[in-house]
Amino acid sequence: MFMKLPHFLLTILAGSMLLTACSKEMSREGDMPATSNCDYAPYTTGSSFSYIDINQTQDTLAYTLTVSGDTTINNVVYKKVGDDSVFTCSNCKDGIYTQIASILTFQGYKADDLKITYLKDNVPAGTSWEDTVAVNNGGVTSSGILKQTITEKNITKTVNGKNYTDVIVVRMDASAIILNNPVSVGTISTSYYAKGVGLIEADQAEDTIKLLSYTLQP
């Protein structure tokens, strides 16, 4: 899942995730059967992905993310994906895709040092999972929940005039824990992942990110 600033598409500002640093090991959401080749994150070294970020006033930002190599965090190997200003650490094993991110802000809430499971490619549509994070709002710290739900699988999605097949759609919703009860903050994003390509589109409250082109290295 990628989104950038200056508005990160390496993920989601104003519903947004600014993925700027890699730290610590991502938490895992249970054991899944090993039936995946991790084709929804083909992050071989040297591969690149060009995106355009379009906001509500139709202003655009174009940028290219490149896979620069590997980094090892707590004995887990991650791929570094980014440009000169930002990067994220991405890992996939047995169909579970994880990412290390920093700074999530949404409707006054801020969370730091996020560890997110952003996709599972070997579970059916309707499957949901959650990551719990610490959030701050006006100096008050509480827990927040990021809930990912696969809303569709194996669909065809047209992005910038190109048809992508075997697409998985993932909706991210956020909640804050207030007085021990979850209070919905709203939907942060709906992301589309194509087999053999990765993220092709992310629809957010204030902008849309779309893939322009990509180059995969063996």
- The pTM (predicted TM-score) of the whole model is 0.80
Q: What would the two tokens of residue 101 be?
A: 């991110």
How many angstroms separate the CA atoms of 48 and 132, rounded? 31
In the chain, the number of structural domains is 1
Q: Which residues pair with 114 in a beta bridge?
A: 101
Q: What would the two tokens of residue 75 be?
A: 């004995």
Query: Does 114 reside within a domain?
Result: yes
Residue 206 pLDDT: 87
Query: Does 1 reside within a domain?
Result: no
Could you list the residue range(s) of the whole structural domain that residue 59 is in? 16-215
CA-based nearest residue to 169, from 207, 97, 117, 120 = 120
How many angstroms separate the CA atoms of 42 and 34, rounded? 17
Query: Does 91 reside within a domain?
Result: yes
Query: Does 8 reside within a domain?
Result: no
R_g over Cα of the chain? 16
Query: Does 121 reside within a domain?
Result: yes
Residue 40 pLDDT: 97
Residue 141's contacts (CB-CB under 8 Å, 6 or more residues apart) are: 134, 135
Q: Could you list the pLDDT tens digit for every one of the 218 residues in the chain?
A: 555 433 332 333 223 333 333 433 333 344 445 468 999 999 999 999 999 999 988 999 999 999 999 988 778 899 999 887 767 889 999 999 998 864 445 455 444 556 789 999 999 999 999 988 776 666 666 677 889 999 999 999 999 999 999 999 999 998 877 778 888 989 999 999 999 999 999 999 889 999 999 999 99
User: If you search the block for the tokens 């896979």, which residue do you land on?
Assistant: 67
How many angstroms separate the CA atoms of 9 and 133, rounded? 21
The strand ranges marked E within 83-206 are 87-93, 96-101, 104-106, 109-111, 114-120, 128-137, 140-159, 162-178, 181-194, 198-204
Query: Does 3 reside within a domain?
Result: no
Query: Does 126 reside within a domain?
Result: yes
Query: Does 129 reside within a domain?
Result: yes
Whichever domain contains 60, its CATH number is: 2.40.360
